[in-house]
Each structure stands twice: as structure tokens, then as C-alpha cells.
């Protein structure tokens, strides 16, 4: 990536203003045209959202997008839609014991509404706030209960694939455990055993950092610093690690770039959240120094890998080992081409990764590491600048998607390939649109000098 060192958030103001106008139009279009009886909208085909049954992990992004739209525009139309949908549609997601997606669905809805209430942005009475709190306490505990114990006595939150499966994605959903813990909640197990949500958050982050992220510490050709494995597989009988795997990437020994982006963003925002936790709380789980070192090493390594292995304009291809990627030559030295003949880009990975770069840069800048902090910050602005314009921003008012050239599941062939093209392109995903809005909210608050945006704004520890 060629990092634009002279770019500042204010330079993006005009693009962001256009973005939010288009965003509102797309939200209304989905509400008017999408048939909710088909399930949650997942990705577009010929510009119209369709569903794809794997898990219902995208519904919170649909309603969460409406909340983000209100956050910027103060248009109560979007707030009213999101409030009603959260009450009527999201309850099953709180108690969904079959998925690791609680931080996606529920923090994006209940969490966002609670945040706006405590920021003084919306009016909510005591009972409404307690309703949000109860939902957030519960969702963190349910997610934390999906626990696999490893041979060292620690463990991880297993994915919907089963108890053997540690997904790199899940580190970004730790926000559910973070909020639940900070609201004073405790998970109880057999015989009323209290289970610390903070401990499980830290252990899961530690296992992800150890088994899903590489640091160039061996001579293995796939051990490149910062690359990630989508899935790590464990023997559930004795808890031993067995091997890397990939569900949505090309192979266990290449890097699926959306998984990389989940790690970038997840570790960076957990570093921000840890600053709200007292040292005494962290001491039983290794202490602040060791925990922050582990997370910072993971965040830096993945962000560095992204910068080094993405295109000149900051947009990655869907997997760094994609089988025909070599036909593009040195793709890191030219802007990404979403309409090429060989391998698709993944703009959703860019939207998620950009937020990780910005958050890591901000964290380091506020902790007196300005040299590294500035590099990541400028890299995040560079990616954001690219995404806020064509060919990635969808300006076609009949297209329901907002961020074009997103990829869902290339190995399963779930992505639509337009007529005349040889690869998926020109389509959107609900998670890509949501995270593009979240990135745009982050940047909008920066240039407006508004309160810094985090998922935990307004939460005070009750522990």
C-alpha cells in the first residue's frame, strides 16, 4: 500500500457527506423492497439483497446500519425503524446458543441504542435503558458459554462449526463479553460456579493470538509475520491444538483477508477497551502489561501484514494465496482492479481493516508511540479515502448495496458473477455495508471533533 502521509480526516468531509446521503437512500430502498420472510439480507445479486442460510449473523448489521445513519444525521426516521426492529426481531439472537456472532448482532443493535442513550443523543427512560442492559448482559454470557477447554486449562469461544473450531472472526465479537462484564454481569455454570467474562475474553484473545496469527518465528514457509489462519482445529478430547484450517479462505496456509481484517479491528478495539479496566481486575489473568503486550503484538503484526500485502490503494484481494492471483503480477504495486479476469477483491475486508488501522494508530498516538501510530493512522485514512469513492461506493440509486465488490464465500461459490465477468464483482454484503458505515461514522466524528466513537461509550464498570 502507498500510504498517503498528507491526508487528514477533514479532506474526506465532502466524500463523507455524499456517502451519508447515499447510505440513507440505500436503507430506505432495502426497507421498501426486501422481503424479510426470506430471512436476513446477506449479499446482493444484480443489485438486490438476497439471503443465504448459514447462520442469521447479518440481521443486526441491517438494523445497526439504521442506528449509525441516525447517529450522523439525527433523522429520527432511521432511529424509529431501528428501535422497533430491535424490539421485534432481535430477541432470538440474545439467546442463540448455536453461534459465536453475538457481538455482531446484538452490540450493533442493543449496544448502539444504549450508547446513544448514554451519550445523550436519544431520549430513553429508566426501563428502556435497563432493557438494553439486560439484553447486553445476557448476550455476552451466552456467547461466553460456547467454551472449549484447551490442554493448558484455558480455552476459547468455539465457532458455529463446533467445539473443535476457533475462528479468527470471533475476536471482533468479544465486544459482547466486554460490555456484559463491564455492566457487572457474571456467567454461572454447573453447581453455581461463577465464571468471569473478563477471564474468558482474555483467554480467547490469547488463544486467537497464539494459534490464528503467525509471527515469523519459525522457518516454515507459511509462517509469515502477521498472516492469519481462518480456523484453528483442536482435539476436543484432550484440548490439544491440531492444525490450521480455512472455511472461507483458499487454504490453511494462505490468508483470507476478511479474517485478517477481523483480527486487526478486534485486537485494536480491545486495546482501547482495556484502558477502561482497572489494573486490579486484570492482575489475576496475567496483569495489564502481559495482556496488552499480547494484544498489541497481534494488532501490529496483522496491520503490518495488511499494509505489505494489499494493493497500492489499500484494497486487498480476497485471499493472499488465491490460485490465480499470480496472473495479476505484483498486485501490491498497482491499484486493485475489481473487474480483473482472475481473482476478486474484497472491499468488506478493507472497510473492517481500515477501522483496525485507525484504532491502532489512535491508541499508539495517545500512548506516546507517535511514529508507529502515525503510520497506521495514515494507512487507515488511505483505505478510507479509496472506499469513499467509485468504483467502491455504490452511486446507482437502484442498487440496494452501499459498498461494492464485497466477497462472501468464494470456496462455496456463493458470490454472484455478473454476465460478461469471470469473477464476482459489483455486489455488496450486509456486513460490508455496515462496517463501511461504522468506518464513516468514526471518520465523521473525527473531523467534527465529536466524542471519539467506541462500542463502549458511556459504559461505566459496575464490577
Do residues 179 and 273 lie in contact, with contact meaning Cβ atoms separated by under 8 Å?
no
pLDDT at residue 102, as a whole number: 95
pLDDT of residue 66 exceeding 60, the answer is: yes
Spatial separation of the C-alpha atoms in residues 376 and 360, rounded to whole Å: 7
Spatial separation of the C-alpha atoms in residues 204 and 200, rounded to whole Å: 6
Sequence-ordered list of residues with C-beta below 8 angstroms from that of 346, at least 6 positions apart, any chain: 257, 258, 316, 317, 318, 405, 406, 407
DSSP string, 145-204: TSEEE-TTS-EEE--TT-TTEEEGGGGGGGHHHHHHHHTT--EE-GGG-EE-HHHHHHHH
Q: What is the mean pLDDT of residues 84-98?
A: 95
pLDDT of residue 463 exceeding 70, the answer is: no
Residue-wise burial string across 243-280, b where 16 or more C-beta atoms lie within 10 A, e elsewhere = ebbbbbbbbbbbbbbbbbbbbbbbbbbbbbbbeebeee
Q: Per the structure block, which three cell numbers stand in for 416?
A: 454472484
pLDDT of residue 293 exceeding 80, the answer is: yes
Do residues 322 and 254 lie in contact, with contact meaning Cβ atoms separated by under 8 Å?
yes
pLDDT in tens, 449-462: 999 999 999 886 55
pLDDT at residue 462, as a whole number: 59
Domains defined along the chain, listed by start: 9-98+111-144+261-447 (1.50.10.10)
pLDDT of residue 295 exceeding 60, the answer is: yes
pLDDT at residue 403, as a whole number: 98
SS3 state of residue 142: helix
> Position of cell 430506505?
28
Q: Per the structure block, which three cell numbers stand in for 228?
A: 492469519
Q: What is the mean pLDDT of residues 269-289?
A: 97
pTM of the model: 0.97
Spatial separation of the C-alpha atoms in residues 120 and 458, rounded to whole Å: 9
pLDDT at residue 39, as a whole number: 85
Do residues 438 and 108 lie in contact, with contact meaning Cβ atoms separated by under 8 Å?
no
Segment among 52-61, 111-120, 439-448 with least mean pLDDT? 52-61
Q: What is the mean pLDDT of residues 349-358?
A: 98
Sequence-ordered list of residues with C-beta below 8 angstroms from that of 84, at least 6 positions apart, any chain: none
Question: Burial of 120 by CB count in 10 Å (0-12 exposed, 13-18 middle, 19+ buried)?
Answer: exposed
Phi, psi of 120 (to 5 degrees): 80, 20
> Residue 409 to residues 147, 259, 415: CA-CA distances in angstroms?
26, 12, 7
pLDDT in tens, 376-407: 999 999 999 999 999 999 999 999 999 999 99
> Position of cell 455492566?
183
Spatial separation of the C-alpha atoms in residues 135 and 126, rounded to whole Å: 14
pLDDT at residue 458, as a whole number: 82
Question: Burial of 445 by CB count in 10 Å (0-12 exposed, 13-18 middle, 19+ buried)?
Answer: middle
pLDDT of residue 36 exceeding 90, the answer is: no
pLDDT at residue 56, as a whole number: 83
Amino acid at each position: 500500500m502507498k500510504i498517503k502521509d498528507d491526508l487528514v480526516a477533514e479532506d474526506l468531509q465532502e466524500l463523507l457527506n455524499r456517502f451519508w446521503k447515499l447510505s440513507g437512500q440505500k436503507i430506505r430502498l432495502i426497507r421498501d423492497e426486501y422481503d424479510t420472510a426470506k430471512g436476513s439480507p446477506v449479499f446482493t445479486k444484480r443489485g438486490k439483497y438476497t439471503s443465504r442460510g448459514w447462520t442469521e449473523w447479518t440481521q443486526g448489521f441491517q438494523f445497526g446500519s439504521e442506528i449509525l445513519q441516525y447517529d450522523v444525521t439525527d433523522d429520527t426516521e432511521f432511529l424509529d425503524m431501528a428501535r422497533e426492529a430491535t424490539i421485534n426481531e432481535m430477541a432470538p439472537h440474545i439467546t442463540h446458543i448455536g453461534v459465536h456472532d453475538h457481538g455482531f448482532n446484538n452490540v450493533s443493535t442493543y449496544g448502539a441504542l444504549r450508547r446513544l442513550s448514554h451519550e445523550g443523543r436519544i431520549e430513553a427512560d429508566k426501563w428502556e435503558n435497563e432493557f438494553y442492559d439486560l439484553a447486553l448482559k445476557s448476550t455476552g454470557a451466552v456467547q461466553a458459554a460456547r467454551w472449549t477447554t484447551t490442554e493448558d486449562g484455558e480455552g476459547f469461544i468455539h465457532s458455529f462449526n463446533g467445539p473443535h473450531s476457533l475462528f479468527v472472526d470471533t475476536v471482533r465479537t468479544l465486544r459482547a463479553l466486554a460490555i456484559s462484564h463491564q455492566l457487572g454481569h457474571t456467567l454461572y455454570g454447573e453447581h453455581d460456579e461463577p465464571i468471569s467474562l473478563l477471564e474468558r475474553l482474555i483467554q480467547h484473545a490469547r488463544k486467537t493470538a497464539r494459534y490464528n496469527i503467525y509471527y515469523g518465528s519459525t522457518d516454515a514457509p507459511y509462517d509469515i509475520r502477521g498472516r492469519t489462519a481462518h480456523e484453528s482445529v483442536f482435539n476436543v478430547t484432550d484440548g490439544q491444538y491440531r492444525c490450521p484450517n480455512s472455511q472461507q479462505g483458499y487454504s490453511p496456509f494462505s490468508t483470507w483477508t476478511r479474517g485478517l481484517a477481523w483480527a486487526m479491528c478486534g485486537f485494536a478495539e480491545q486495546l482501547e477497551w482495556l484502558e477502561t479496566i482497572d489494573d486490579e481486575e486484570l492482575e489475576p489473568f496475567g496483569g495489564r502489561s502481559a495482556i496488552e503486550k499480547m494484544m498489541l503484538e497481534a494488532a501490529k503484526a496483522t496491520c503490518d501484514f495488511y499494509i505489505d500485502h494489499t494493493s497500492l490503494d489499500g484494497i486487498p484481494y480476497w485471499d493472499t494465496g488465491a490460485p490465480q492471483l499470480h496472473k495479476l503480477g505484483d498486485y501490491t504495486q498497482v491499484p486493485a482492479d475489481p473487474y480483473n479476469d482472475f481473482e476478486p477483491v474484497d472491499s468488506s475486508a478493507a472497510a473492517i481493516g481500515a477501522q483496525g488501522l485507525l484504532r491502532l494508530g489512535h491508541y499508539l498516538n495517545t500512548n506516546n508511540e507517535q511514529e508507529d501510530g502515525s503510520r497506521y493512522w495514515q494507512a487507515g485514512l488511505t483505505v478510507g479515502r479509496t472506499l469513499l469513492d467509485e468504483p467502491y461506493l455504490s452511486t446507482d440509486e437502484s442498487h440496494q448495496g452501499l459498498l461494492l465488490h464485497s466477497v462472501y464465500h468464494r470456496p462455496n461459490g456463493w458470490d454472484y458473477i455478473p454476465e460478461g465477468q469471470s469473477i464476482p464483482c459489483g455486489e455488496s454484503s450486509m456486513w460490508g455495508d455496515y462496517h463501511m458505515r461504522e468506518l464513516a461514522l468514526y471518520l465523521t466524528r473525527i473531523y467534527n471533533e465529536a466524542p471519539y466513537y467506541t462500542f463502549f461509550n458511556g459504559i461505566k464498570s459496575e464490577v
